[in-house]
């Protein structure tokens, strides 16, 4: 079993690398952001409660996120998982332990703020395949259409300048303390996330994939 947490600021490339590593290792990629967007699109009761938090970039209340994650993780039967974007605060990290959800390594994506802003400002998203592109760094083959399904690419609502600024602030206020939390447990692995997608793929696989 391989069980990882991907930690880091918004736009650090956690989702991009989790997609790659989960395919390569045949493990599940669980993004709480994606699970929440799904609930919001389907207009479920949980989604309606979460909507305003996600759109402004504030953390969704713990009880909602923990409920969604627990439901999802119960169904996993494969060789492991990557938790992308969970935990986001100490209470969520403790809830993993309470529910006996094991973490082998917490991978911290270290990145500069200016790089994060550039990545989020140009991000494009396929609402069907849930794949991310970037207008400059990872452009689709055809203008504004998904390479897989041809659907028109969109921008995420929370990728506007005000929400980006808030998400970065929320990260430093609430999620950053987890670095020390996992460091003390001897589980923290730093990755320099300022590099190209391919350079990070290789490094990540060498460090935690084998």
Asked if 39 contacts 68 with a C-beta cutoff of 8 angstroms, the reply is: yes
Helices within 83-151 (DSSP H only)? 90-98, 113-121
The Cα–Cα gap between 129 and 149 comes to 7
Active site residue: 2, 14, 119, 131, which one? 14
Q: Which of 156, 157, 187, 195 is catalytic?
A: 156
Q: How many residues bind ligand AP5 (CB under 6 A)?
A: 34
**Which window, 29-37, 71-79, 144-152, 182-190, contacts ligand AP5 (CB under 6 A)?**
29-37
Among residues 40, 46, 92, 153, the one that binds ligand AP5 under rule CB under 6 A? 92
Chain Cα centroid distance, residue 94: 19
Q: How far is the CB of 142 from ligand AP5 (least distance, A)?
A: 16
Among 167, 178, 188, 191, binds ligand AP5 (CB under 6 A): 167
Q: Which stretch binds ligand AP5 (CB under 6 A): 32-40, 72-80, 100-108, 183-191?
A: 32-40
CB-CB contact of 159 with 123 (8 Å): yes
Choose among 178, 4, 200: nearest CA to 119.
Answer: 200
CB 85 within 8 A of CB 93: no
Place of tokens 């490339």: 13
Q: Report the distance separating Cα 17 and Cα 160, nearest Å.
A: 23
Q: Contact, 155 vs 125, CB < 8 A?
A: yes
140 strand-pairing partners: none
Among the listed residues 4, 20, 81, 86, the single contact to ligand AP5 using CB under 6 A: 86
140 near ligand AP5 (CB under 6 A): no
- Interface with ligand AP5, residue 153, by CB under 6 A: no
Stretch of residues binding ligand AP5 (CB under 6 A), selected from 39-47, 71-79, 94-102, 127-135: 127-135
In the residue annotation, 88 being an active-site residue is answered as yes
Catalytic residue numbers?
Answer: 14, 88, 123, 156, 167
- The residues of the shown chain that bind ligand AP5, judged by CB under 6 A, are 10-16, 31-33, 36, 53-54, 57-60, 65, 85-86, 88, 92, 119, 123, 132-134, 137-138, 158, 167, 196-197, 200
């Amino acid at each position: 079993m391989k069980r990882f947490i991907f930690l880091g600021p918004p736009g650090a490339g956690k989702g991009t690398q989790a997609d790659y590593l989960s395919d390569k290792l045949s493990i599940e990629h669980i993004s709480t952001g994606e699970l929440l967007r799904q609930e919001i699109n389907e207009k479920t009761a949980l989604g309606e409660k979460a909507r305003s938090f996600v759109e402004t970039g504030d953390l969704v209340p713990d009880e909602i996120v923990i409920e969604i994650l627990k439901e999802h993780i119960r169904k996993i039967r494969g060789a492991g998982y990557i938790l992308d974007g969970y935990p986001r605060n100490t209470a969520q990290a403790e809830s993993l332990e309470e529910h006996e959800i094991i973490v082998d390594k917490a991978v911290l994506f270290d990145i500069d703020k200016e790089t994060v802003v550039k990545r989020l400002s140009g991000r494009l998203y396929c609402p069907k395949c849930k794949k991310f592109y970037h207008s400059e760094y990872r452009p689709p083959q055809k203008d504004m259409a998904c390479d897989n399904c041809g659907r028109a690419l969109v921008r995420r609502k929370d990728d506007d300048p005000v929400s980006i600024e808030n998400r970065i602030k929320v990260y430093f206020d609430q999620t950053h303390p987890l670095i020390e939390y996992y460091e003390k447990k001897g589980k923290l692995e730093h990755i320099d996330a300022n590099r190209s997608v391919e350079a990070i793929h290789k490094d990540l696989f060498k460090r935690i994939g084998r």
